[in-house]
Amino acid sequence: MNHTHTPMEPDRSQREGNSIMPEALTGAEPLSQARSWGRLFWFFALLIGAFFLADAGLLWSVRRIGTSEMGVLNRVLTGKVNTDIVISGSSRALVHYDPREITRGTGLSAYNIGRNGSRTDTQVAILKGYLRKNTKPRLVIHNVDMHSLAASQEIYDSGAYVPYLHLPEIYDMVRTINHDAWKSKWLPLYGLAVEDMSFLWVKGLVNLALRPSKDELIQGYHPRHLEWTGDFARYLASNPDGIVPETDDRGPVYFEELMQVCANAGVPLILVYSPEYRELQQHVKGRRELMARYQGVADRHGVPFWDFSGSPLCERKELFYNGSHLNANGSGLFSQELTQRLVAHLGKTWNSPSPGP
Amino acid sequence: MLFNSFSFGIFFASVVLLYFNLPQKGRVLLLLVSSCLFYMVFVPAYILILLLTILVDYYAGIKLVETTGATRRFYLIGSIIATCAILFVFKYFNFFAQTVSSLGGWAGFPISDFTLRIVLPIGLSFHTFQSLSYVIEVYRGHQRAERDFLTYATYVMFFPQLVAGPIERPQNLLEQFRTYHGVDVARMADGFRRMAWGFFKKLVVADRLAIYVNDVYASPQEHNGLQLTLATVFFAYQIYCDFSGYTDIALGMAKVMGFKLMENFDTPYYSASIGEFWRRWHISLSTWFRDYVYFPLGGSRGGIPKTCRNLMITFALSGLWHGANWTYVCWGLLNGFYLIGGVLLAPLRQRCCELTGVSRRPWIRRGIGIAITILLTLFAWVFFRAKTLQDAIYIVTHFHLNWDFREIRTEHFLMRQMPAAILGIFVLELVQLASKKYPLPQLVLRLPQPLRWAFYIGVVLAVTLLGVFKETEFIYFQF
């Protein structure tokens, strides 16, 4: 601290001001009050107009993304899938179910609409959107998880839904979780600015310019070519007393709604609990009761529930990259195992006098 | 109500429209009412604390000009004690109680840990110091007592600078509430430009870097040396952009309405010494401590030992002002040590420069000074940001260990954020450096109006699309 300044002598910086923003040039005659307000009005009117234009343009470009999970969502919600077998669920659906394997075994087209980080409420909304926009599938396979009886606290990758807030099923889902969703729907650029942390708008613009065709996802399925990571050890360390499956009041309601949606649409549904690594299963508290609960709901709605927790795949660590996700090798083997069961089931059910389970 | 919220945009637009359509007396009342509303959005009941501070210092100010001698000193001391007591209760009581309890336990005299369950009123430290400044300046005869209660209350509560400064001196701000400000497009445009620059710093730079910093500093033991280093560098930018961005927005808003607030930052990271850094960082606070703590203690009169003592007391208090935690006190003391080191080592530094020939090349000397100052500041920021002293010590002892470029991302900061983070820092540095050489606003003003407007619209769109809007408070709100 320099004592050469007297207490009220301004420092150099105060005398000169922050040079980044010196006083404006005011050489011209000052405008009248009315003209001043007029100029301000027209500037902000143009600014708001630019916001609306940018919003429309960027959302249009995002809807044209053809790759990655955004590409899948775009195809689902614009009626470009139209497949026989739909696979829905969370990230475990996304990485476990290879539609090519299912098609090879059943002769039916298949498409995976699983979404990373989603819970049952989001999955049901997407399925509703699919059923409204695409031709009716012959079967829906829904992957069930440890937390399928819990609703979302927040939306993972919320920016992806911004271009589709005009669809009632998507808007209702988003608004239930995020009460500010009306802002994303009605205020230009709000959704892209606030909700989109993935720079989807950049991806949309790049997509328009370069039209990339290379996609990691195959018919919506994302094969993960990974070896075992440290995620599971960290997950166990953060849950030293065991893992308690999340449930709440709303989760079971959405789970029931899933059955209802398929029943109302006249689409057969199969619930599948895909493989989890054995060590993870052993750390889950109340697992047996949870499976019993799923079975109970399935029985009440006359829906098959296939639990692959006892599959030999669950013993093989090299087929997983963490406790709950199969890698590409593991998902290939699981898809084959599922397809065999599916062929047998379809043979029994679709050859019977009344098709469907 | 945060500046970077939709509701604040509606609030500010409404206040500006009403402000310019009211007569002068009505304007002061409007600013007071809107400032009250602004403050009450945080915790409504705490307006009463603010009101108490205002009443105490308003009354004290009048009494200071009506009395003399010991009575006059009584009103000064009474006002200071009352104002500081409020600050102590809400901000420091729990810290004090826990410290006494810990010391008692260490000394073998267990003392039960009694703490208050109260939330710190937002901006308490700022408006407390602003009120104290008023009372002291009136006592010293540098400011006449404000007899209009509405004007005085508005001075304390003026919403652009209510919760995070700048800490205004009454000589600068009070009279401005009596000045009629007309609609001046050039002035308002300047204000909006300033706000846009502030929003760029806050939303595009600070809030993006905060994601990384929060992840690493939440659990430093789970991150490698590269992440610890990057998080510390990011924090240096985060706190600068957060705080100076807020200041830019505050100054810009005030300018739109015709008010001139004091500058609070002057590119502090371009300082060639810690002394210079503190003349360019949070200028309103550092001058406050200089004028009301350091100089009254004796300043640099009385020789080196007294100068060192006065510096340490001033910076310890400055650290404590920032927060009720030993990390802040350590940060303050560190800066005090730096300044003392600067004073004591000045002859040695000069000798080294002469011997190496650096003194003949001022730009090299300045460059070395800037580099050393940045390193010292970064080291000190670790203590400012860390949750505990243990975390801070862990970080500073592990900067150099386990650098792994494959493990650079954090839980919430995905690698796709890194280009935007680097770009934000690059634009910040480019604009700051360019503005030292070229009058950037004048260059923009020379453009034809359509181009100029297109440029402004482009900037607003860019800040909107590149900004991080997940609500994060301004760092200095917590002080």
Query: Smallest CA–CA separation between B29 and chain A, in Å?
Result: 22
Q: Which helix (H) or strand (E) holds A169?
A: helix A168-177
Residue B1 near residue B7, CB atoms below 8 Å: yes
User: Which residue of chain A comes nearest to B256, CA vs CA?
Assistant: A40
Q: Quick check: bond before A212 cis, omega within 30?
A: no
Interchain CB distance below 8 Å, B465 and A7: no
CB contact under 8 A, B278 and A1: yes
Beta strands at A85-88 and A110-112: parallel, antiparallel or unpaired: parallel
Q: Shortest CA distance to A74 belongs to which of A61, A87, A84? A: A61
Chain A residue with CA closest to B143: the answer is A8
Q: How far is CA A11 from CA B270, B296, B336, B350, in A?
A: 16, 19, 21, 25
Asked if B453 reaches chain A (Cβ–Cβ under 8 Å), the answer is yes
| Both structure tokens of A46 | 């143009």
How near does any CA of chain B get to the CA of A100, in Å?
Answer: 31
Closest CA to A263 of A317, A300, A222, A224: A300
Q: What is the pLDDT of residue B111?
A: 67
Centre a 10 Å sphere on the Cβ of residue B222 and count the other Cβ atoms it contains: 12
Note the ipTM here.
Answer: 0.84
Interface test with A, best of B461, B463, B471 (most A CBs within 10 A): B461
| First-residue to last-residue Cα distance in chain B | 16
Interface of B with A in 306-345 (CB under 8 A): 311, 314, 339
Beta carbons of A199 and B441 less than 8 Å apart: no
- The Cα of B432 is separated from the nearest Cα of chain A by a number of Å equal to 7
- Best of B21, B266, B310, B410 to disrupt the A interface (most A CBs within 10 Å) is B266
Closest-CA distance, B145 to chain A, in angstroms, reads 18
Which residues of chain A does B417 touch, with a Cβ-Cβ cutoff of 8 Å?
197
Q: Which chain A residues have a beta carbon less than 8 Å from that of B208?
A: none
Query: Looking at CA atoms only, how far is residue A210 from chain B in angstroms?
Result: 19
Interface check for B469 against chain A (CB to CB < 8 A): the answer is yes
Q: Does B184 touch chain A (CB under 8 A)?
A: yes
| Closest chain B residue by Cα to residue A39 | B185
Q: Do B262 and A46 touch (CB under 8 A)?
A: no
Q: Which residues of B touch A156 (CB under 8 A)?
A: none
Q: What residues of chain A lie within 8 A of the CB of B431, using their CB?
A: 20
**Chain B residues touching residue A22 (CB < 8 angstroms):** 439, 441-442
Asked if residues A208 and A64 have their Cβ atoms less than 8 Å apart, the reply is yes
Q: Between chains, do B295 and A7 touch, taking CB under 8 Å as contact?
A: yes
Nearest to B194 by CA among B253, B240, B259: B253
Interface test with B, best of A18, A33, A206 (most B CBs within 10 A): A18
Residue of chain B whose Cα is closest to the Cα of A190: B464
Say yes or no for a CB contact (<8 Å) between A24 and B441.
Answer: yes
Residues 6+ apart with CB under 8 A from B10: none
Dihedral over Cα of B305, B311, B312, B317: its sign? positive
Q: Which residues of A touch B442 (CB under 8 A)?
A: 22, 25
Q: How far apart are CA A152 and CA A155, in angstroms?
A: 7
pLDDT tens for chain B, 479 residues long, are 788 888 899 999 999 999 999 988 899 999 999 999 999 988 888 888 889 999 999 999 999 999 989 999 999 999 999 999 988 888 888 888 888 887 777 777 776 666 667 777 888 889 899 999 999 999 999 999 999 999 999 999 999 998 888 999 999 999 999 999 988 889 999 999 999 999 999 999 999 999 999 999 999 998 999 999 999 999 999 999 999 999 999 999 999 999 999 999 999 999 999 999 999 999 999 999 999 999 999 998 888 889 999 999 999 999 988 888 888 999 999 999 999 998 888 888 888 888 888 777 888 889 999 999 999 999 999 999 999 999 999 999 999 998 988 888 888 888 888 999 999 999 999 999 999 888 888 889 899 999 999 999 999 999 999 999 875 556 666 66
Is residue B322 flagged as an active site residue? yes
Q: Which of B127, B322, B400, B412 is catalytic?
A: B322
Of B187, B279, B339, the CB nearest to A24: B187
B147 phi, psi to nearest 5 deg:
-95, -15
Question: How do the pLDDT tens digits run along chain A, 357 residues long?
Answer: 333 333 223 344 444 333 333 344 444 556 688 888 899 999 999 999 999 999 999 999 999 999 999 999 999 999 999 999 999 999 999 999 999 999 999 999 999 999 999 999 999 999 999 999 999 999 999 999 999 999 999 898 899 999 999 999 999 999 999 999 999 999 999 999 988 888 899 999 998 888 877 888 999 999 999 999 878 888 888 888 888 999 999 999 999 999 999 999 999 999 999 999 999 999 999 999 999 999 999 999 999 999 999 999 999 999 999 999 999 999 999 999 999 999 999 887 765 444 443
B221–chain A nearest CA distance, Å: 13
Please judge whether B279 and A192 are an interchain contact, meaning their C-beta atoms are less than 8 angstroms apart: no
Identify whether the C-beta of residue A311 lies closer than 8 Å to the C-beta of residue A329: no
The pTM of the full predicted model, rounded to 2 decimals, is 0.86
